[in-house]
Amino acid sequence: MADPIRRRVVVHGHVQGVFFRDSCRREAQARGVAGWISNRADGAVEAVFEGDPDAVAALVELCRRGPRGADVDSVDERSEDPEGLTGFEVR
């Protein structure tokens, strides 16, 4: 396995109330990606994904598309140093 990476994303658009967080949680668990996802007060969704580079990239791509019912306007993405997170949490 490649060294783990960490990405923080903030997803803007119609992304709350469309099962965005649960869709990401299920995909993260299926791919063995750790981290968390949360609704923000400004209507965006923020997430941290940590794990295998290919698996993390797949989660970031899911955020760019969004689940059915979402309308993603933009995604802010930045790299961070991995913290060794385990599990995935919906906050």
Q: What DSSP element (H or E) covers 21?
A: helix 20-31
Question: Domain limits of the chain?
Answer: 5-81
25 is catalytic: no
The string of pLDDT tens digits covering residues 31-83 is: 999 999 999 999 999 999 999 999 999 999 999 999 999 999 999 999 999 99
- How far apart CA 68 and CA 59 sit, in angstroms, is 15
Instruction: Calculate the CA 4 to chain-centre distance.
Output: 15
Alpha carbon distance 57, 8 (integer Å): 11
CA distance linking residue 63 with residue 38, whole number of Å: 13
Instruction: Look up residue 75 and give its amino acid.
Output: V
Out of 6, 7, 8, 21, pick the active-site residue: 21
pTM of the complete model beyond 0.85: yes
**pLDDT at residue 1 tops 70:** no
Q: Which of 39, 40, 68, 91 is catalytic?
A: 39
Is 91 designated active site?
no
Environment class of 63 (CB within 10 Å of its CB; exposed 0-12, middle 13-18, buried 19+): buried
The architecture (CATH level 2) of 5-81 comes to: 2-Layer Sandwich (3.30)
